[in-house]
Every structure is written in structure tokens, then in C-alpha cells.
Amino acid sequence: MIKKLMLLSLIILVASCKNEETKEGYVLTGSIDKSVEGKTMRLQNADLNNITFSDSTVIKDGKATFTGKVESPDLYLLTIEGVPGGVPLVLENEEISIQFYKDSLQTSVVSGSHENDIFKLFKNISDPIRAKNQTMGQEFVAARTAGDTVRMTAIQSEFQKIVDDGNKENLEAIKKHNDVVTSAAILENLIQTKGIETIEAKELYDNFTEPVKNSRIGKSINDLLNSSMATAIGSMAPEFTAPNPDGEMIALKDIRGKVTIIDFWAAWCGPCRKENPNVVKVYEKYHEKGLEIIGVSLDGNPRQKDAKGEWLTAIEKDGLTWHQVSNLNYFNDPVAKQYNIQSIPATFILDADGKIIAKNLRGPALEAKMAELLD
């Protein structure tokens, strides 16, 4: 619940790009309280999969200026040395001004173009949700501390409705403003957080102007949609080959059974480890009847000191006796990307021909499906 809102809150704070003839370069000018005089301000791209620093400057007389040229508009982040947070914006070849608020960078005001008007529109949708998240989050923690599961469920349901209503407003705004990168950023977030069905997302993407489609975010959405459609129920499961713990390459096509489960998990993933006993139970009951499982580990989390060691320990401790593979590359694992994995645990159930017939079943639901297919 909170993770979804945090993702949404970050995305709606960006400015967008309009479909106009670009200028020779950008001029980005910021004003800020002189208490941060002499601090370094950094400009970096906001692609979490490929973060690079583009430029830096020192704040002087309460001012900071960046100049340069970008090939096409994209999402960037401005940060200040020693100040928490940052200001996301779409950097384009325009004159852009920012009024920074050092005590809350995310509330800084970006102005100077039509794009920022659209930015404010999405921000007005998000702000009330973010405020609700803060208060309801505290209520949820209090209920959890008190062991009040009924109240916890009620809070989750109430907050989910608030998020759903906000998503509906976002979808209407995306339809109306199909020529800005902000709309693409909102759509990308909705896809990643499962806030929209693939078919509806494809319709919105197809309605974008060509400059938006050709932006980095537009291309990312296209990749996400292709992956989603490739792994929809009724589609043939994408083939893959990955190394097992001994370094031997295992191909999906070589280990398929009458029914095959592709199980995306990781040693660091608490919900995955909690579900593992259920998967063990199902495997022991149905393996001789034709069930095969291949576990795809997303170990390689930057916080892991020994990703492979933790992976192997988890396999042994949890009694996972089926095929296991991993590139130890966290969510950048190529198999995870093929299957558009945004969170784990995630499972795909295949028939004997390799067609996806069910997804993300756990516990009793998984066992019931195996009984339907193999008993």
C-alpha cells in the first residue's frame, strides 16, 4: 500500500514536455534560501536502472544555474548537498525556473512552460492521496501494534479505494494530455504497480504523440507492454536459459512437464520464504504426476554481502529440491525482464505445451489448481 503511493507520489512531481520545436539548449535557473550558500547542486538523470550525473554547480547568492542541451526531453533529478530529497523534472531545451524550498524539496515549484501546468494538474491529484497515506499509515501501524486485524483490513480497503479513485483521475488526465512526457510517466507507474490492465494501457500508449512514444519513458512503456502481453494468460511462455547454482545452463524447454511452475523468488524476500513451504508441499504431492518447477531467484540485491551464498543457503534451508536458476542480478535479471517482474513472489503455471494457463496462485489456490490439472 505505502510502496505503491510512494512510487505514485514521486512520478507526479515531474514536469512534462510538449510537442513543439526544440530550442538550441536549456537554461535551468533556481532560487533558494541563502542558508545553503556554497553547497553543491547536482543534476542527474532519473532512470533508476542507469543513473548518471549530468552536471553540478555551486549555489551562489541564493542562485543556481545549469545550461546545456539534451537530444530529447527526459526525466531528471536535482539534489542539493546535505539536503534530503530532490526535485524531479523533465529537462528539455527550454528556459525553466525553479523556486526551491530547502525544507521540503519535493514541494519546490517548477515553472516556465505548459508542461508545468500539466505537472500541477497531476500534483493536485496526488497531494491529497499522499496526505491520506501519512495519516492512515500511522493508523495502520497503531492497529498492527494492537493486533487489531479487523481495523488493519479496513484501513487497507479504505486506502485502496482512495488510490483507485486517484488512478481514475490520472487516466482521464492521461487521455486528455497525450502530448506530454508527464502522462507517459504516470502511465508507466500505473503499469508497474498493476494499477491498470494491459489492454487499457496499450490503448493509452497508442494515443500518445510520436515524440512522447520516442522518449525514453515512452520506449520503456512499449517494452513493458510487450512483456505484459507476452506473459498474459493464454500466451506461450517466453523461452529462457539461465545458470543453476553449479553454473550449468538450464533451458525452460528442456525441463517442462505436464504442468510447469515458474517461480520467481529470492532469499531476501520475506513473503517468498513464507510461501516456500506451500510450494514444497505441492511439489512433493504432484511431482510424480508430472509437475515440474523451476525457481528463478532475483538474488543480487545490492544490500546482500554474499548473494550466491544466501541463495544457496535458502535453497537448502527451505528444502527446494526442484530446478533453480539465477543470474544474481536482482530485478535486472534478464529472465525477470522477459516476464515483466516488478515484485515477488510471482508465479506462472504452464501446460504441457508451454502455454500460460494461470498466474500468481499461492497457498490453497495453488494446490487446488494442481489438483484440477493433475488429479
* Residue 201 to residue 63: CA distance in whole angstroms: 41
pLDDT for position 90: 82
- Per the structure, how many domains does the chain have? 3
Q: Do the domain assignments include residue 10?
A: no
pLDDT for position 15: 34
Contact 193, 227 (CB under 8 A): no
User: What CATH number does the domain containing 70 carry?
Assistant: 2.60.40
Q: Do the domain assignments include residue 15?
A: no
Same domain assignment for residues 244 and 338: yes
Give CA separation, 303 vs 50, 95, 266, 300, 306, in Å: 18, 40, 13, 8, 9
How much of the chain exceeds pLDDT 90, in percent?
A: 63
Write out the H or E segment, with its range, that includes residue 111: strand 109-111
Same domain assignment for residues 47 and 128: no
pLDDT for position 49: 63
Same domain assignment for residues 243 and 367: yes
- The domain in which residue 205 lies consists of 116-227
Same domain assignment for residues 352 and 261: yes
pLDDT for position 11: 46
Q: Which of 235-244, 292-301, 336-345 has the lowest mean pLDDT?
A: 336-345
* Residue 141 to residue 143: CA distance in whole angstroms: 5
User: Measured at the alpha carbon of residue 359, what is the angle toward residues 353 and 360, in degrees to the nearest 5?
Assistant: 145
Same domain assignment for residues 125 and 107: no
Q: Concatenated DSSP letters for 28-58?
A: EEEE--GGGTT-EEEEEE--TTS--EEEEEE
Q: How confident is the model at residue 48 (pLDDT cuts 50, 70, 90)?
A: low
Same domain assignment for residues 206 and 273: no
Contact 89, 76 (CB under 8 A): yes
Q: How confident is the model at residue 17 (pLDDT cuts 50, 70, 90)?
A: very low
pLDDT for position 14: 40
What is the phi/psi pair of residue 99, to 5°? -100, 105
pLDDT for position 23: 58
* Residue 163 to residue 126: CA distance in whole angstroms: 9
DSSP state, residue 331: G
3-state DSSP assignment of residue 301: coil
Same domain assignment for residues 248 and 318: yes
Q: Which of 22-26, 122-126, 290-294 has the lowest mean pLDDT?
A: 22-26
User: What CATH number does the domain containing 335 carry?
Assistant: 3.40.30.10
Q: Do the domain assignments include residue 13?
A: no
Query: For residue range 170-208, what is the model confidence (pLDDT) as tens digits?
Result: 999 999 999 999 899 899 988 888 788 888 999 999 999
Q: Which of 4-8, 119-123, 351-355, 362-366 has the lowest mean pLDDT?
A: 4-8
Last residue of a domain, one of 57, 92, 111: 111
Considering the chain, what is the average pLDDT of its residues?
Answer: 88
* Residue 226 to residue 142: CA distance in whole angstroms: 42
Q: Do the domain assignments include residue 197?
A: yes
Q: Do the domain assignments include residue 190?
A: yes
pTM for the model: 0.66
Q: Do the domain assignments include residue 47?
A: yes
Last residue of a domain, one of 111, 144, 167: 111
Same domain assignment for residues 191 and 155: yes
Helical H runs in the chain?
A: 2-11, 114-145, 149-176, 181-192, 198-206, 210-213, 216-230, 252-255, 270-286, 307-318, 334-338, 363-374
The predicted model gives 102-113 an average pLDDT of 83
Query: For residue range 213-240, what is the model confidence (pLDDT) as tens digits?
Result: 998 889 999 988 988 888 888 999 999 9
Query: For residue range 260-275, what is the model confidence (pLDDT) as tens digits?
Result: 999 999 999 999 999 9
The predicted model gives 292-314 an average pLDDT of 95
Q: Is pLDDT at 40 greater than 80 in this prediction?
A: yes
Same domain assignment for residues 153 and 254: no
Last residue of a domain, one of 63, 96, 111: 111
Beta bridge partners of 74: 91
Same domain assignment for residues 298 and 245: yes
Q: Do the domain assignments include residue 129?
A: yes
Same domain assignment for residues 57 and 159: no
pLDDT for position 178: 95
Q: Do the domain assignments include residue 98?
A: yes
Q: Is pLDDT at 355 greater than 80 in this prediction?
A: yes
pLDDT for position 50: 67
Same domain assignment for residues 288 and 344: yes
Question: Which residues are CB-contacts of 296 (< 8 A; sequence separation ≥ 6)?
Answer: 242, 262, 263, 264, 265, 325, 326, 333, 335, 336
Q: Is pLDDT at 58 greater than 80 in this prediction?
A: yes
How much of the chain exceeds pLDDT 70, in percent?
A: 93
